[in-house]
Structure 1
Amino acid sequence: MKNKTVIVTGANSGVGLATTVELARRGATVVMACRSAERGEAALKLARERSGSNQLELVPCDLGSLESIRAFASTVRERHPVVDVLVNNAGVVSLKRETTRDGFESQLGVNHLGHFLLTLLLLEPLKRAPQGRVVTVSSGAHRVGNIHWADPHFTRGYSMWRGYAQSKLANVLFTKGLAYRMRGTPVTANCLHPGAVGTQLGVDRDTGGGKAIMKLLSYVFITPEQGADTSVYLATSDEVSGVSGEYFYRREPAPVSRLAEDREQIERLWFWSEKQVGEQFPFP
């Protein structure tokens, strides 16, 4: 990974931090996209210590703000004309309904729409790489997900689980839509299920709600390093250099739900997402 540039979203903790450390350890220049400057600075220091690398940089990015995403992408394009890998890792689980700065339901807004916009804005530097890769962290929860077209932002009858599953299905649909559009270019797009990882996703940062549940479940969780393994594999391995549009689990292609392969759903979500973020796919 020497002389390669990688972007990791949600790089300040959990799987994102573990992914950052391993990629930096392998020689990549890693741009850490973090919402909180304070937590990002602490993670940057930790990542440097753990990886033994100084080829890391922190650039603020709030995936719940289209303005912040555009500013981040602009900064990255100026500093790094070529981007070899984009790891769309960041994710939220909202115990109660919350909205992003742009009014999107937070799970759909951050987990899908934020990464959708970020990826579109970075396609040019990804195309300049010998083999650009977009790696998106989804979840096995996509199997029970539906896109609730009548009310995708859950303005009525919010459910954390339905919202999360919808956002993870959107990750798979987005990956397949992007892979289709990037045919004939050096860019591939794949997604993955990291496994049941012990992170702070289900904890309310303001109230601390959910900590008891997370502690109970910690006994069956895998470590962030184990959860990062497939992300790192998809970002680095020559074995998948020509693979695109697949969903992986434990480094192997895995089946997806029927809806996740539905071409009508793939295209409907793509065009809907373009309207939501105000950005169209830049290539014919």
Structure 2
Amino acid sequence: MFKNMENKICIVTGSSSGIGKGVAKAMAQRGAKVIMVSRDKTRGKESFKEISAISNNVEWIPADLCSVESIHKLVLSFKSKYSKLDILFNCAGDKIMKKYYTIDGFDGLFFSNYLGHFLLTNLLFEHLKNATPSKVITISGRGHKPSLTEGNFKSAIDLNDLQGNIHFSYGKYAKQATLAKIMFTYELSRRWKSYDIASTTLCPGLTHTNQGEYFPLPLKILVPLFYIFKETQTIEEGAAHLINLAEKSNNEINGKYFEGGKKGLFEANSSEESYDDSVAKKLWEESKKLLDHQNSSV
């Protein structure tokens, strides 16, 4: 039985496919007002058409979360229609395994997976405050920890080279982007707790999505085999973990990291490095400086 989410307004980034789409669909089924956010491409249009058939309470705001201007336009469009935001689902991200830059000159991996959501979340502060108790739910991942599949080494925040402009390594900076999202979640929970805005993050677990579409050809061949031999979840199963967090009270989830899988969703410990409050504060300030340099202060 679905828990009723009527009168709840939510934004779901990355809603054209994968877990983001699964979350948008599940929230629509529960009666929420769903604002789908994705790039203005065929897949985004088709996903909106599919989910709006479930509910007439679904809207699509096309936006490129690799563009500072596009993020600001997204927020302005949202604020022109709504006075509050109950839940922000930060689901978007990419796994492009090469160095590339956004239109604003940011490292693409760093911005698409972390800094864009840092900006979006901060720009939506007043509307989250208007809806309290409200929530920010961010997909991160186990990948910030040592693992055989994602690099058997610890992740750390390199404050001297956050964007890998001195020496780029996909393995290092993919891990750092994941760690940055977790540390951002914890710092946000400390800064916004007094407003009754909960901030939480999770690794949904291995889910059969299309994120491998940007992988090099050898990996594109291996990924389907990996899905066959590992216990993968469907998109609906992966999305259910985010819905689980959305349905919990703020006290149950604020400032916490969760891991999901076929057996359910459980609170877990993130890496030792992720709990360093002093580094989290420095990361926050450096993130602001990077955006201020683009005249996009938060």
- TM-score (structure 1 length as normaliser): 0.92
Match of 1:213 in 2: 222
Q: CA deviation at 1:210?
A: 4.0
Which amino acid letter does the alignment assign opposite residue 192 of structure 1?
L
Matched, 1:149 2:149: no
**3-state secondary structure, aligned to 1:145:** coil
**3-state secondary structure, aligned to 1:248:** strand
**3-state secondary structure, aligned to 1:188:** strand
Q: Find the partner of 1:16 among 10, 20, 27.
A: 20
Matched, 1:184 2:199: no
- Note the 1:165-184 alignment, pairs <5 A: 165-184=175-194
Worse-superposed segment, 100-109 or 61-70: 100-109
Worse-superposed segment, 213-222 or 172-181: 213-222
Match of 2:148 in 1: none
Q: CA deviation at 1:208?
A: 6.7
The alpha-carbon distance between structure 1 residues 131 and 261, as it changes in their structure 2 partners (threshold 3 A), is same
**Equivalences, count:** 277
Matched, 1:260 2:264: no
Matched, 1:7 2:11: yes
Match of 2:233 in 1: 222
Instruction: Output the CA distance in 2 between the equivalents of 1:13 and 1:81.
Output: 27
Instruction: Output the CA distance in 2 between the equivalents of 1:203 and 1:154.
Output: 23
The alpha-carbon distance between structure 1 residues 159 and 216, as it changes in their structure 2 partners (threshold 3 A), is farther
Worse-superposed segment, 229-238 or 110-119: 229-238
Q: Find the partner of 1:35 among 39, 57, 69.
A: 39
Q: Find the partner of 1:47 among 47, 51, 57.
A: 51
Match of 2:169 in 1: 159
**3-state secondary structure, aligned to 2:212:** coil
Instruction: Output the CA distance in 2 between the equivalents of 1:182 and 1:26.
Output: 27
Worse-superposed segment, 108-117 or 153-162: 153-162
Unaligned stretches of 5+ residues in structure 1: none
Q: Find the partner of 2:248 among 214, 223, 237.
A: 237
- Note the 1:114-125 alignment, pairs <5 A: 114-125=116-127
Which amino acid letter does the alignment assign opposite residue 249 of structure 1?
E
Q: Is residue 66–residue 112 contact of structure 2 (8 Å, CA) maintained in 1?
A: yes
Instruction: Output the CA distance in 2 between the equivalents of 1:195 and 1:242.
Output: 20
Worse-superposed segment, 116-125 or 180-189: 180-189
Q: CA deviation at 1:96?
A: 1.1
What is the Cα-based RMSD across aligned positions, in Å?
1.8
Q: Is residue 203–residue 209 contact of structure 1 (8 Å, CA) maintained in 2?
A: no
Instruction: Output the CA distance in 2 between the equivalents of 1:106 and 1:270.
Output: 18
**3-state secondary structure, aligned to 1:218:** helix
- TM-score (structure 2 length as normaliser): 0.88
Instruction: Output the CA distance in 1 between the equivalents of 2:247 and 2:103.
Output: 34
Among the aligned pairs, what percent are the same residue? 33
Which amino acid letter does the alignment assign opposite residue 236 of structure 2?
E
Q: Could you give the per-residue CA deviations for residues 55-97 of structure 1, whole angstroms, max 9, x where no partner exists?
A: 1110012111111000001111111111100000001111111
Instruction: Output the CA distance in 2 between the equivalents of 1:158 and 1:54.
Output: 45
Q: CA deviation at 1:136?
A: 0.4
Q: Could you give the per-residue CA deviations for residues 241-277 of structure 1, whole angstroms, max 9, x where no partner exists?
A: 5531111123322101111000111101000111112
Worse-superposed segment, 272-281 or 91-100: 272-281
**3-state secondary structure, aligned to 2:137:** strand
Q: Is residue 11–residue 43 contact of structure 1 (8 Å, CA) maintained in 2?
A: yes
Unaligned stretches of 5+ residues in structure 2: 146-153
